[in-house]
Chain A
């Protein structure tokens, strides 16, 4: 299934893939990047930013394309500029456990080992900055601010993973889905968007994989939360948080 997915790559406006460099007189695409304030790049200024721009290439992936595979050499890091990425691990029995959804400004590919700890796949069209790991690590050694920001990122990633393990261990589908929707709303708010109306890029099947539920249970639970008046659905993927307090209560316990 994964092998048949196509990866499409698009040269950046400033030059061919993996060779975008800032030159005197040329506009610096990083300076106008919409997610810079949210990403690890926010820690950089002046020469540091130029150093980073010198190793960055931009890639575009179509929906369903594999960005990185679990177990492959971890030789690139990615900064998501636009779109949603799901990260997952394959379980020994062949099932897939989605371990997170990442969006604009998130960093992808931090690995403590030499191989990718998970796979990543585009959910809808995705645009990324792509950096060779070794060169990025050299930059981080030169620029302590970047290193600190990376450590902060690694911590947040670890905490999110611990949160997901707690979430999976919770008892009811209602509690899991309410927690997920609130997390998506907080994420939207952190990106300056409305927190009472969220747009879900991922399918019900992806949500089911993430929460350790079946698709049918996810659909039923959406309906239940609608009936209770906590949320309203506008189409399949637009969710309005009608009563956030009720949703908070649902997230705590049944």
Chain B
């Protein structure tokens, strides 16, 4: 059955539209900060970018921001450091497409591995990824500094 969503590279004219979706992961996010982040990723294409999951009416249901990194241990790695997919109708469809898009992206960019950072609350997305073969390889520790 064809997906009700399609994965599209986020373009500059859609950056503002997806801000509400980005805020579902980071509620205090402001337009200026989001635009600056998104433009850096879009400008760095194809080694970095943002993929959006869009429905037939043009609304976005999920986002993932990626960049290619050369890791000493893992070689060329697709690092996905910012993912949001809201739990809606068609969640399974969106999650399946997101997982498939990650594989296709890694293939296109000739990456040997995919590394994804998730927020502690993204349990359902983590379950979807683990079902698709992604395994827990470590934890990320973070401490905010005085410069924050």
Contacts and interface: CB of A to CB of B under 8 A. Distances in A.
Interface of A: 91-92, 111-113, 115, 117, 148, 151-152, 154-155, 158-159, 161-162, 165-166, 168-169
Interface string B102-133: 00000000000000000001000000000000
Interface stretch (B2-10, B11-19, B136-144): B11-19
B86 A112 contact: yes
Interface stretch (B20-28, B65-73, B74-82): B20-28
A162 B89 CA distance: 17
A188 to B, nearest CB: 22
B86 A159 contact: no
27 contacts: A91-B30, A92-B30, A112-B24, A112-B86, A112-B121, A113-B27, A113-B121, A151-B87, A151-B88, A151-B89, A152-B89, A154-B86, A154-B88, A155-B88, A155-B89, A158-B21, A158-B24, A158-B86, A159-B57, A161-B20, A162-B18, A162-B60, A165-B16, A165-B18, A165-B19, A165-B20, A168-B16
Contact of A117 (B16, B23, B59, B89): B23
A151 B20 CA distance: 16
User: Is the contact region of chain A dominated by helix, strand, or loop, or is it mixed?
Assistant: helix
A159 B59 CA distance: 6
Interface residues of B, number: 18
Nearest to A158: B20
Given A165-B17, A165-B18, A169-B17, 6 more contacts: A112-B27, A151-B89, A154-B87, A155-B86, A158-B88, A162-B60
Contacts, number: 49
Contacts of A151: 87-89
Contacts of B30: 91-92
Nearest to B26: A113
Nearest to A164: B20
A162 B88 contact: no
Interface in B19-63: 19-21, 23-24, 27, 30, 57, 59-60
B27 A115 contact: yes
A242 to B, nearest CB: 29
